[in-house]
Amino acid sequence: MRKYAYFEFLSPWGKMLLLLGLILLFSILTAFGGLLIGKFWLDTDFVSLASIVSNPTTESAINFSRFYQFINQLGVFIFPVFLYTFLVSTSPFKYLNMSRKPLFVNLLLSITIVFTILPFLNYIGVWNMNIKLPESMSDIENWMMQKEEMASLLLGAFLKTSSISGLLINLVVIGLIPAIGEELLFRGVILRLFKEAFKNIHLAVFISALLFSIVHLQFYGFFPRLLLGLVLGYLFVYTKSLWAPIAYHLVNNSATVLIYYLHQRGIVETNAENFGSTNSVILILGSLIISVYILILINKQQQLKAHN
Residues 6+ apart with CB under 8 A from 152: none
Supply the pLDDT for residue 290. 97
Query: b vs e for 102-119, b when ≥16 Cβ sit within 10 Å of the residue's Cβ?
Result: bbeebbebbbbbbebbbb
Distance CA(184)–CA(189), nearest Å, equals 6
Length of the chain, in residues: 308
- Measured CA to CA, the distance from residue 54 to residue 66 in angstroms comes to 11
pTM for the model stands at: 0.92
- The Cα–Cα gap between 307 and 302 comes to 9
Nearest to 188 by CA among 9, 15, 11: 15
Question: So what's the pLDDT on residue 280?
Answer: 93
Q: What is the CA radius of gyration of the chain?
A: 20
What are the pLDDT tens digits along the chain (308 aa)? Answer: 566 778 999 999 999 999 999 999 999 999 999 989 988 888 888 777 877 777 788 888 888 888 999 999 999 999 999 999 999 999 999 999 999 888 899 999 999 999 999 999 999 999 998 888 788 777 877 877 877 777 777 788 888 888 888 899 999 999 999 999 999 999 999 999 999 999 999 999 999 999 999 998 888 889 999 999 999 999 999 999 999 999 999 999 999 999 999 888 888 887 777 788 888 999 999 999 999 999 999 999 888 877 77
Do residues 205 and 233 touch, judged by C-beta distance below 8 A?
A: yes
Cβ atoms < 10 Å from Cβ of 132: 8
The whole-number pLDDT of residue 3 equals 66
Q: What is the 3-state secondary structure (H, E, C) of 37-106?
A: HHHHHCCCCHHHHHHHHHCCCCHHHHHHHHHHHHHHHHHHHHHHHHHHHHHHCCCHHHHCCCCCCCCHHH
> What is the number of alpha carbons within 13 Å of residue 56 lying toward its C-beta?
23
Alpha helix ranges (H) inside the chain: 12-41, 46-54, 59-73, 79-88, 92-95, 104-116, 118-129, 138-159, 164-170, 177-182, 191-198, 201-215, 222-239, 243-264, 281-307
At residue 1, the pLDDT reads: 56
Q: Return the closest-CA partner of residue 155 out of 73, 240, 54, 19.
A: 54
